[in-house]
Structure 1
Amino acid sequence: MIQLSICIPTYNFGKFIGLTLDSLLPQVCSGVEVIVLDGGSIDDTADVVSIRQREYPMLTYHHQNFRGGIDRDIEKVVSMAQGQYCWLFSADDIMLPGAVNKILEAIKSNYDVYICEHVLCNLKMDPIRKHPPFNKMSGSRLFNLGEASQRKEYFRSARTSEAFFSFLSGPIFKKTIWDSASIPESFRDTCWIVAGHLLSMVSKGLTVNYLGETLLHKRGENDSFSDRGMVNRYRIAIEAFHHVGNSLFGKFSEEAFHIRRVLQLDIPVRYLMLAKLRATENQDREGIKVLNRLVIMHYADPSLSNWMKYALYKTAFPFTIKMYLDFKKLWRKT
């Protein structure tokens, strides 16, 4: 019987996936499988994986000759899993020693979802800082999100969108819970299919065990959602995640409000001002229009803080933004 399926969707990550597999395969024991779904890579991903398959028979590799998109590839690799629980894992992250055993021990309690922490790193995997998904929460905590008071505490305590399952490698979930989720087709074009599946089960009484332990290093500066530019990246983060939250809980619900709140923390106004500068420098008028619409959406909830941030974005001229960035670089050097 397979207890845990480590599921890795990938596309053209041949230069990263070898290190990822090397970090987790030596930890794999009886009752654990590793599945790599290659969404049509044209690099050396297949060769990198096949080398590891010779030593680790529990590693399986599936290559499809088309790009299904991240949402559909995630659903497909989970559908291949035979484990009671699935741990979706990014093809460029590094699993820390002992992580698999800790998860195997944790899932004996049979809750629906387990959330681990990670250390944020740069592209070279030099550690930068811890990145906890909750505020002022130390040690393990259990929440039944079907119970109103516990759901309020969970949503109010969220520090980043990772509390709402935005980070691929963060949650470990029961496969039957995933399979039971009924989601609209529109979620499969958001890049947030994991959040869609798991958040859709909140009303059913989803039990979430926050482990409070760091089990992996996350590679930064390698955001595959940025391949079509910064403005489109923020469209995915803001517009698409709003769509998931508003569809599941209602636009004026407290749950959707807290999803919007943490997105503002994930994407501060200085990021949006930088995007405005870049779009202006590239004479991307359409990009500026899209960005302006996203900023209105981002700060739509009425508050003095939101009004001030929107006003700062709106009134900042590109040359003043550039002066600020140049000064910041100079200050860092000194």
Structure 2
Amino acid sequence: MRISLCIPTYNRAPQLWELLNSVVHQTGHALAVEIVISDNASTDDTTAVINDFTQAGLSIIYKRLPENIGFDRNMLKVVTLASSDYCWLFGSDDILEDGAFARIEQLFAHHKEPTGVSIGSNGYSTDLSSRIYLNDHISTDFPTETMLHGRDNIVAGIGPWGMGYISSIIIRRQAWNAAVESSPVEQYFNGYIQIYVLARALDDQSTWICIPDRLVGWRSGNDGAVTSNEFDRTRIDLVGFEQAFGDTLGRDNPVYWETMRKVATFYIKMHFLNAKISGASLRYWKQAIPMSIRYYWKIPAFWTNTFTIAIIPRHAILLMRFLYRSTIKDAHKKISF
């Protein structure tokens, strides 16, 4: 079984070192793993890091682009450099947990040629020094290994978090390439190109395996999409999810509405909550409120679970956060570990 670990990167040399180190320490498997890295014209020590691992014997296909072409184009670029049957899309600031390749080898021994796979993940502090507790919405929600059949069942099953978090996704390269070639993709360069391509790659004959095994580690507070404009990251989620799912599923599809409900009550809710906690400016809310209403006004849960955060005073939010952290979250953490 051949699999390409497809890593788009930009100025993440220290994190990339930790990822490649986690690759080196994978044991107990016979997978033919191809490491593919597309470097978006990094200005840090990315090239030196890759050279160090190459000299140590790790086989890496490395392409450094002459200029930064943006995340979406780089995401597409890294897959074009791959040659394996499957591509494991991977964020350059994430890591593989011990035994990840061995578990994937076992999976493919039991399931012949699924369209894709969704994988569980562990959350860590930014420096990976400690685990963090988070209701894990960025990995599969299935408690046991589960096969899904058909596009609508797959999208409904893995949800926006299963398609938005790239390191949880393994996709058949042929299906990905066919989706890219079948439709212009430039209008979906909004930070979530992989969601559009994945949804386009699915049809009624597609099969998808969901495993709860936590094979990936991700860092809290290390969002590469953050910019100096406080609204930019919120805009990515407001627009990216709706555009990708709406244009592929159809806006009269019940799965589209259920997916948008999940986006509104998790991603947009978290943006609003973080904005309140950080004391976002009035300018932020003047952009966030109209745009969120534009996309989610038909979803009742948006008004009850998300929009209310925008109108609750900040001091009340901070008090509720304190009470949650000191009671409910602490209890959940003790149970989860």
TM range (shorter): 0.7 to 0.9
User: Aligned runs of 1:87-236 on 2, under 5 Å?
Assistant: 87-108=88-109, 109-125=112-128, 126-129=130-133, 131=136, 133-135=139-141, 137-146=142-151, 151-152=152-153, 154-158=154-158, 161-163=160-162, 165-181=163-179, 182-236=182-236
Secondary structure at the aligned position of 1:12 is classed as coil
Moved more, 203-212 or 78-87: 203-212
Counterpart Cα distance in 1 of 2:88 and 2:306? 38
Aligned partner of 1:8 in structure 2 is 7
Aligned partner of 1:324 in structure 2 is 317
Counterpart Cα distance in 1 of 2:270 and 2:56? 47
Counterpart Cα distance in 1 of 2:250 and 2:264? 19
Aligned partner of 2:40 in structure 1 is 39
Counterpart Cα distance in 1 of 2:320 and 2:262? 28
Change (3 A) 1:312 1:58: same
Moved more, 174-183 or 265-274: 265-274
Structure 2: 5+ residue stretches without partners: 328-337
Is this contact kept in 2: 1:231–1:275, CA < 8 A?
no
Aligned partner of 2:286 in structure 1 is 289
Which one-letter code corresponds to 2:148 in the other structure?
Answer: F
Moved more, 265-274 or 50-59: 265-274
User: Percent same amino acid among aligned pairs?
Assistant: 21
Offset of residue 289 of structure 1: 2.8
Structure 1: 5+ residue stretches without partners: none
- 1:68-125, CA deviations, whole angstroms, 9 ceiling, x for partnerless residues? 1111111111111111111111111110122112213323421110111001122022
TM-score, normalised by the number of residues in structure 1: 0.85
Counterpart Cα distance in 1 of 2:84 and 2:127? 32
Change (3 A) 1:258 1:53: same
TM-score, normalised by the number of residues in structure 2: 0.84
Change (3 A) 1:258 1:57: same
Is this contact kept in 2: 1:115–1:172, CA < 8 A?
yes
Aligned partner of 2:266 in structure 1 is 266
Offset of residue 50 of structure 1: 0.9
Offset of residue 33 of structure 1: 1.2
Count, aligned residues: 318
Offset of residue 277 of structure 1: 7.2
Counterpart Cα distance in 1 of 2:259 and 2:323? 35
Change (3 A) 1:232 1:82: same
- 1:261-297, CA deviations, whole angstroms, 9 ceiling, x for partnerless residues? 121233253631542675754x6x3x33321223213
Aligned partner of 2:239 in structure 1 is 239
Counterpart Cα distance in 2 of 1:68 and 1:179? 19
- 1:118-171, CA deviations, whole angstroms, 9 ceiling, x for partnerless residues? 011220222113725444x2211111115xxxx34x45545x5223x1111111
Counterpart Cα distance in 1 of 2:187 and 2:170? 20
Change (3 A) 1:36 1:280: closer
Counterpart Cα distance in 2 of 1:15 and 1:59? 17
Secondary structure at the aligned position of 1:226 is classed as coil
Counterpart Cα distance in 2 of 1:310 and 1:119? 26
Secondary structure at the aligned position of 1:191 is classed as coil
Offset of residue 329 of structure 1: 4.4
Is this contact kept in 2: 1:8–1:88, CA < 8 A?
yes
Aligned partner of 2:22 in structure 1 is 23
Aligned partner of 1:248 in structure 2 is 248
